[in-house]
Amino acid sequence: MEILSGREPAAVRTAAARLAAGRLVAFPTETVYGLGARADDDAAVARIFAAKGRPADHPLIVHVAGRDAAAHFAAHWPASADRLARAFWPGPLTLIVPRRPGVAAAAAGGQDSIGLRLPAHPVALALLREAAALGVPGVAAPSANRFGRVSPTTAAHVRTEFEGLDASVEPVLTVLDGGACDVGIESAIVDCTRERPALLRPGQLSRARLEAVLGQPLAAPDAASPRASGTLASHYAPGVPVRLLAHDELRRRLQALAARPMAQGGQGDAPVGVYSRLDPGLSPGWLHRAMPGDAAAAAHELFAVLRELDAAGVAAIWVEQPPAGAAWDGVRDRLQRAAA
């Protein structure tokens, strides 16, 4: 693994050249770090699936350097996608549109639609533009972690995920270090392939903001919706069980844990990790991290906290249910899938 500074133009050019050559490159976006390959090379894309252990029919998001670049992959550009792209690109929004036949079939998981995104991170934009200058129309990039696990928000997380990666998949994985991701959870995904757009995955962008631009309510996913990244029932999971608990239930469980002669987390003497707005105080029975009262701040640190507690050797992670407000939809979605 080779970690390069994303703030060095020479490093960005090196990473772009490796993408152009069909190699894998991990890079930061404003949401999470992605594991990228040129989207127009099905063999290169196959190496993403192999590195992650991801099913080949689970589609990837293609990152592009600009709205004009999206035309390479789209059979046509629906009016709903145009309105959303003009309002929110660059930004944490993926638009699913009809895919141009014969283009990026592997990245699309074999579907006749494709998810496109223009990220807002300066390192991601610099990489995409350098790659485009070398003939790479877009970069397919799911989160840079093993399939189903907690998404990475720092280069160090990527290193942890892919140390020991099979050299037959990628001899030396290139990682562009752009610091910690600002948003911290993946993009919202809107399906624009049908007359009424549908929100397939919530993110930082609220449903209300998306609907205000569209001028109509977003539909819910149904059986006809395309498959989309990060929408499986179980996803974003650390190595230990996650329990999502209401405030009163969490308090009750912590009281019961504290009352034990030797507080235990359920496996030997390992404590329970607790992520909550509730302050449980200090106890040998648990390791507590305070959940911010602001949804954006919670999203920013969510995956890092789950990784920290997991690495601390806890027996399980108990998370207080987020507030019911719409601002928390993205955080709530990730926690529900982590606990599935």
Q: Cβ-count burial of 259 within 10 angstroms (0-12 exposed, 13-18 middle, 19+ buried)?
A: exposed
Q: Give me Rg for the CA atoms of the chain.
A: 20
How far is residue 145's CA from residue 52's CA, in Å, rounded to a whole number?
6
3-state class (DSSP) for residue 76: coil
Percent of the chain past pLDDT 70, that is, above it, reads 98
What residue spans in the chain does CATH classification 3.90.870.10 cover? 2-214
Residue 17: how many other CB atoms lie within 10 Å:
16
Residue 325: how many other CB atoms lie within 10 Å:
10
> 308-336, pLDDT tens digit by residue?
999 999 999 999 999 999 999 999 999 99
Q: Which of 330, 276, 265 is nearest to 299 (CA)?
A: 330
Q: Please, what is the Cα angle at 237 between 178 and 278, to 5 degrees? A: 90
CB of 190 closer than 8 Å to CB of 199:
yes
Q: What is the pLDDT of residue 102?
A: 95
How far is residue 103's CA from residue 39's CA, in Å, rounded to a whole number?
9
Please check whether the domain covering 242-338 is classified as CATH 3.30.70: no
Q: State in words which class domain 2-214 has.
A: alpha beta
| Average pLDDT of every residue of the chain | 94
Q: What is the pLDDT of residue 47?
A: 96
Average pLDDT over residues 177-197: 97
